[in-house]
């Protein structure tokens, strides 16, 4: 692949690497070496566990089979859209919002084309993005910034239940708003039926993957040290499907690491440190939401977390902050890229619906946070 092609494909990786490199020139080398790399490495290794599971499930055709089974008896257009939207909602709880959109947005585009419903493509893809973001709030491994904050539970002294209490109201109200918007879709009989032709390639491997997934969840809640689970995963995949390691998208791991370097570099600059301290003292949740609009919610989490003891405000702020501009969440960029690959795509038409829906979600979720906190 040429350099231009690589930059177009992984521009977020290139940008994050460039920002990390710049930050290395802005702070002393001793400061760079003093960063707490153990926490970020634990988060990255935990993300790798879930990336391996998803890659394995894709290789076995399990995710496509699950989607086809869910869609096989659909009889109306609204029901079809509802299932297509709910699939990433529930998948994001288990495998992250990015993974669920990488799986189900292309599937939705293909199915809507087969059902002669291409006119609904923008609405469905935008609502899928909303669904993936809202669903991912519920679990520590639903998105990278959730996992990053949860891995700080020993620093802030909170447990899984306290973590969930912060997020359950946001998920519940977000899901209600999502369903209301979905119910506005016109409901008419569906002319065609979704074919259920794909089969799972190796059911034994799928059962092993489910067991490994359970092990990964147990590791996230600190019942097993992550390095033991990582070793088990590597051995299991080397035996079971060794070629899977070349099919994992590692860019998210490097992006996370580079953004960690960049954020730490900024926080060690006196002028930036003073500005962020003032903003976080004013309102840490709203500051995180606003920062996410320009940097996306992952780097805003890494950047702002050291400036407050209110971990819940940063956690919820980063989740809500994924709504707004297209760059507020990497998930939004993934969906937009898939849509723009379509022949008759229109960026203006997409952005009109995207911004309208995202403004609605911000208007609903920001008051929800203050109501329950």
Phi-psi sector, 324: left (phi>0), alpha (psi -120 to 50), beta = left
Neighbours of 228 (CB within 10 A): 11
* Contact status, residue 92 vs residue 131, Cβ threshold 8 Å: yes
pLDDT value at position 265?
Answer: 77
Closest CA to 137 of 100, 92, 106, 181: 92
pLDDT greater than 80 at residue 82: yes
pLDDT value at position 5?
Answer: 63
Cα→Cα distances 134→59, 142, 322, Å: 27, 9, 9
Interval 264-283 mean pLDDT: 80
Q: pLDDT tens-digit profile of 201-218? A: 778 888 998 899 889 888
Top-ranked range on mean pLDDT: pick from 41-45, 54-58, 209-213, 297-301? 209-213
118: Cα within 13 Å, side-chain hemisphere: 10
For 117-154, give the DSSP string: -GGGHHHHHHHHHHHHHHHHTTSTTSSHHHHHHHTTHH
* Contact status, residue 116 vs residue 80, Cβ threshold 8 Å: no
Distance, CA of 182 to chain centre: 21
Q: pLDDT tens-digit profile of 11-46? A: 667 877 888 888 888 777 777 777 777 777 877 887
Residues contacting 152, CB < 8 A, separation 6+: 39, 305, 311
Cα→Cα distances 147→137, 189, 217, Å: 10, 42, 11
pLDDT greater than 70 at residue 192: no
Q: To the nearest 10°, report the CA torsion of 186, 189, 190, 191.
A: -130
What are the residue ranges of helices labelled H in the chain?
A: 3-9, 11-24, 29-33, 37-59, 62-71, 77-95, 97-114, 121-136, 144-150, 153-156, 160-183, 203-220, 226-240, 251-267, 270-282, 284-295, 297-304, 311-320, 330-340, 347-372
Which one is predicted more confidently, 255 or 352?
Answer: 352
Residues contacting 175, CB < 8 A, separation 6+: 89, 134
pLDDT value at position 290?
Answer: 93
* Residues paired with 189 in a beta bridge: 76
Residues contacting 28, CB < 8 A, separation 6+: none
Q: How far apart are the C-alpha atoms of 227 and 218, rounded to whole Å?
A: 13
* Confidence (pTM): 0.78
* Contact status, residue 166 vs residue 315, Cβ threshold 8 Å: yes
CA gyration radius, the chain: 21
Q: How far apart are the C-alpha atoms of 208 and 258, rounded to whole Å?
A: 33
Work out the pLDDT band at 175, boundaries 50, 70, 90: very high
Which one is predicted more confidently, 294 or 12?
Answer: 294
pLDDT value at position 4?
Answer: 66
Cα→Cα distances 121→101, 136, 270, 339, Å: 14, 22, 47, 8
* Contact status, residue 19 vs residue 262, Cβ threshold 8 Å: yes
Q: pLDDT tens-digit profile of 109-138? A: 878 877 778 888 999 999 999 999 999 999
């Amino acid at each position: 692949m040429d350099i231009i092609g690589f930059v177009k494909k992984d521009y977020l990786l290139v940008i994050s690497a460039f920002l990390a490199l710049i930050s290395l020139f802005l702070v002393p080398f001793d400061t760079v070496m003093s960063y707490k790399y153990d926490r970020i490495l634990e988060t990255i290794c935990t993300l790798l566990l879930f990336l391996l599971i998803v890659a394995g499930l894709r290789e076995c055709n399990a995710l496509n089979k699950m989607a086809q089974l869910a869609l096989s008896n659909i009889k109306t257009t609204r029901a079809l859209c509802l299932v297509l939207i709910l699939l990433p909602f529930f998948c994001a709880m288990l495998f992250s919002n990015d993974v669920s959109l990488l799986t189900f947005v292309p599937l939705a585009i293909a199915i809507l084309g087969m059902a002669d419903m291409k006119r609904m493509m923008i609405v469905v893809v935008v609502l899928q993005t909303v669904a993936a973001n809202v669903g991912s709030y519920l679990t520590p491994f639903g998105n990278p910034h959730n996992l990053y904050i949860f891995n700080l539970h020993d620093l802030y002294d909170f447990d899984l239940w306290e973590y969930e209490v912060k997020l359950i109201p946001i998920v519940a109200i977000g899901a209600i708003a999502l369903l209301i918007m979905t119910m506005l879709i016109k409901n008419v009989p569906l002319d065609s039926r979704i074919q259920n032709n794909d089969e799972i390639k190796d059911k034994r491997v799928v059962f092993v993957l489910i067991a490994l997934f359970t092990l990964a969840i147990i590791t996230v809640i600190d019942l097993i040290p992550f390095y033991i689970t990582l070793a088990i995963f590597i051995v299991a995949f080397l035996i079971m499907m060794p070629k899977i390691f070349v099919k994992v998208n590692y860019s998210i791991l490097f992006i996370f690491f580079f953004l960690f370097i960049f954020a730490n570099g900024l926080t060690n600059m006196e002028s930036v440190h003073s500005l962020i301290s003032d903003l976080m003292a004013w309102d840490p949740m709203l500051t995180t939401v606003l920062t996410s609009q320009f940097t996306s919610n992952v780097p805003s989490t890494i950047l702002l977390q050291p400036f407050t003891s209110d971990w819940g405000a940063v956690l919820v702020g980063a989740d809500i902050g994924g709504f707004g501009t297209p760059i507020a969440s990497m998930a939004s960029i993934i969906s937009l890229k898939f849509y723009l690959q379509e022949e008759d795509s229109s960026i203006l038409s997409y952005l009109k619906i995207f911004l309208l829906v995202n403004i609605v979600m911000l208007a609903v979720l920001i008051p929800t946070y203050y109501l329950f906190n």
